[in-house]
Amino acid sequence: MAELGFQVVSSPWTNQELLELGLASCVDCACLPLKAYVGHVQFLVQQGLSLLFVPQVVSLFPKEWTCSVLLGLPDLVKQYVPPSVRLLTPVLDARRGIHQLTLQYLHFGLQWARPSPVLRAWRKAVRAQRTWERAYQAVSSPGRFRLLLLGPRYLTDDPYLNGNLREKLRDLGAEVLCPADFSDATTAAACSLLRKRPYWTCTRRSLGALAHAVPQLDGVVTISPFGCGAEAMQGVLITSLTGTRIPHLELHVDEHTSPVGLFTRLEAFCDLLERKRSG
């Protein structure tokens, strides 16, 4: 966005202040990530910003969808900001092919700049994304046992919303893998083992990572927003893939989740895995 001439202002990492802003605005039935997102929006509005980037992410992979919250995110956010705040809402839809994402980004950029800086901005963004993904995959370190952490990335990658889950698992001796450690090509191919390929991208990535890595795993931990239908169905599919071979801990979080209670469950689960390995 900066390459296109915008002065970019980002909200800070999720914290209690931002979550409280979202809780005060959102309806009770909204999931925790949406409440946090609205909190970030409200924070930026309070800083005096009048132009917010809220893309409508329809699809990131051919023949797949994102969750219903992301599909309707611009319309949801519009209900929580004053009329003076304008939203930039480009549609990102790869259902007809990954190349469509590139075309949609370029179409958006050409509204604000000439072709040359738009192409330069796109290439720079692609390089930055690839660098970030490689750095993300390099974070994993060996442990006494290996876990696969499944869930939407807006939970698995947000240490405040997940109670610093990944770091706690590492402290307990686990090597933690995530679906982001595997390419889309790998997880899509692994999903061919299922009777029907999931049409939610997050679920396909999670189940594909599980099907691909299951011989190397000691356990599976899933984290999902309380009340999320897609993630609830994923739990059933995980059981159908692994049966009773691999221990599986399901965590459902909302604004009432206690980090202390979360750690107690993780500690008990990791203790079970170590006992299982030692026979």
Helix runs in 138-194, H state only: 153-156, 165-171, 184-190
Residues 6+ apart with CB under 8 A from 123: none
pLDDT at residue 279, rounded to an integer: 67
User: Could you state, in chain order, the average pLDDT of each consecutive group of 10 residues for the chain (279 residues)?
Assistant: 88 95 90 94 94 93 89 93 93 88 90 91 90 74 87 91 92 92 89 82 92 91 85 80 85 89 93 84
Whose structure tokens read 């039935």?
Answer: 29
Q: How many other C-beta atoms lie within 10 A of the C-beta of residue 29?
A: 7
Question: Which pLDDT score is estimated for 197?
Answer: 82
pTM of the model: 0.89
Taken in order 202, 203, 206, 208, is the CA torsion positive or negative? negative
Beta strands in 54-114, from DSSP E residues, in sequence order? 56-59, 86-88, 91-93
The beta-carbon contacts of 135-143 under 8 Å, at least 24 apart in sequence, are 136/180, 136/181, 137/180, 137/181, 140/175, 140/176, 140/177, 140/181, 141/170, 141/175, 142/175, 143/170, 143/173, 143/174, 143/175, 143/176
- Six token digits for residue 135: 């750095």
In the chain the beta strands, taken as DSSP E runs, fall at: 51-53, 56-59, 86-88, 91-93, 145-150, 174-177, 219-225, 248-253
**Is residue 210 within 8 Å of 137, Cβ to Cβ?**
no
Check: CB of residue 187 under 8 Å from CB of residue 204. Answer: yes
What is the structure's pLDDT at 59?
92
Q: To 5 degrees, how large is the angle CA 165–CA 225–CA 45? A: 95
Nearest-angstrom CA–CA distance, 247 and 54? 39
The whole-number pLDDT of residue 140 equals 63
**Is-contact 179 150, C-beta < 8 A?**
yes
| Domains of the chain, CATH where assigned | 2-104 (3.40.50), 140-278 (3.40.50.11900)
Q: What is the pLDDT of residue 138?
A: 58
Q: How far is Cα 169 from Cα 143, in angstroms, rounded to an integer? A: 10
CA–CA dist 14, 163 (Å, integer): 11
